[in-house]
C-alpha cells in the first residue's frame, strides 16, 4: 500500500533532519559511535572469547615452556581493564548524545502537539459558531464548550503532578 503524499513529505523531512544531524558529527564523535555500535554486537563477544582462549592457552604453565604473561595473567587483566574503561566512556558518550537528541525530539513533539491543540480549539470554535448560526442543538453541548476552550498547559501539568504516583525526584 502506497503512503499518502503528506506522509511521504513528512518522512522525507524527518530523514533530512536525521541526515543533517549525522553529517554534522565530528570525527571523534563518529569514531565513538562506530566503537559503541560494534561493541554491542555478537562478533565482538566472539572475538573476545577467542582472544581470551588463545591468550590463556598460550600462557598456561607448561613444562619447560616460557610464557610472557604467566598465571594469574596480569597483563591480560590490565589490557581488559583498560579496554573496559574506554568502552564504558565511548558508550556513555553515545548515550549522552542519544539522550540529547531524544530530548530535542520531545521538545519538537511538544511544540507540534501544542500547535495541534490550538488548531483543534480554533476549529471547534468555528464549528460551534456554525452550529449556533444554523441553530443546531449540538452547539449547547457542555463537552464541546469545554473542548473549545484553550488548554491551560500549566494547569494540566499541575494536575498531573498532583495525581501521578510519586517517585524519586530527578536531580539536576
Is 22 part of any domain? no
* Bond prior to 72 in cis (omega within 30° of 0): yes
Is 19 part of any domain? no
What is residue 167's predicted lDDT score, i.e. its pLDDT?
Answer: 66
pLDDT tens, residue order, the chain (172 aa) = 778 888 899 889 889 988 998 899 899 889 998 999 999 899 999 999 999 999 999 888 776 677 888 888 999 999 999 999 999 999 999 999 889 989 988 998 999 999 999 999 999 889 888 888 888 877 677 888 788 888 888 888 888 888 888 766 666 5
CB 75 within 8 A of CB 55: no
Q: How many CB atoms lie within 10 A of CB 165?
A: 4
Distance CA 166, CA 48 (A): 43
CB 33 within 8 A of CB 25: yes
Per DSSP, 63 falls in state T
Distance (Å) of CA 170 to CA 102, 164, 167: 17, 15, 9
Is 8 part of any domain? no
Is 101 part of any domain? yes
Is 119 part of any domain? yes
Say how many domains are in the chain.
1
Distance CA 31, CA 61 (A): 39
What is residue 139's predicted lDDT score, i.e. its pLDDT?
Answer: 62
The C-alpha cell at 57 is 592457552
Is 166 part of any domain? no
Q: Among residues 59, 153, 53, which one has the least CA distance to residue 113?
A: 153
pTM (two decimals): 0.66
What is residue 40's predicted lDDT score, i.e. its pLDDT?
Answer: 87
- Residue 123 belongs to what domain range? 27-159
Per DSSP, 139 falls in state G
Is 16 part of any domain? no
Is 152 part of any domain? yes
What is residue 2's predicted lDDT score, i.e. its pLDDT?
Answer: 77
What is residue 27's predicted lDDT score, i.e. its pLDDT?
Answer: 92
What is residue 169's predicted lDDT score, i.e. its pLDDT?
Answer: 66
What is residue 54's predicted lDDT score, i.e. its pLDDT?
Answer: 93
Amino acid at each position: 500500500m502506497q503512503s499518502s503524499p503528506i506522509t511521504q513529505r513528512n518522512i522525507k523531512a524527518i530523514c533530512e533532519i536525521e541526515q543533517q544531524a549525522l553529517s554534522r558529527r565530528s570525527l571523534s564523535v563518529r569514531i565513538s559511535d562506530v566503537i559503541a555500535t560494534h561493541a554491542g554486537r555478537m562478533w565482538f563477544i566472539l572475538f573476545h572469547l577467542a582472544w581470551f582462549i588463545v591468550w590463556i592457552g598460550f600462557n598456561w604453565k607448561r613444562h619447560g615452556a616460557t610464557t610472557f604473561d604467566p598465571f594469574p595473567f596480569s597483563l591480560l587483566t590490565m589490557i581488559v581493564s583498560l579496554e573496559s574503561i574506554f568502552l564504558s566512556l565511548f558508550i556513555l558518550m553515545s548515550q549522552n548524545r542519544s539522550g540529547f537528541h531524544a530530548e530535542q525530539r520531545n521538545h519538537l513533539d511538544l511544540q507540534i502537539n501544542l500547535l495541534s491543540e490550538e488548531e483543534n480549539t480554533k476549529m471547534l470554535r468555528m464549528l460551534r459558531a456554525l452550529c449556533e448560526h444554523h441553530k443546531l442543538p449540538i452547539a449547547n453541548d457542555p463537552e464541546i464548550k469545554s473542548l473549545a476552550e484553550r488548554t491551560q498547559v500549566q494547569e494540566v501539568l499541575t494536575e498531573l503532578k498532583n495525581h501521578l504516583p510519586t517517585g524519586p525526584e530527578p536531580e539536576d
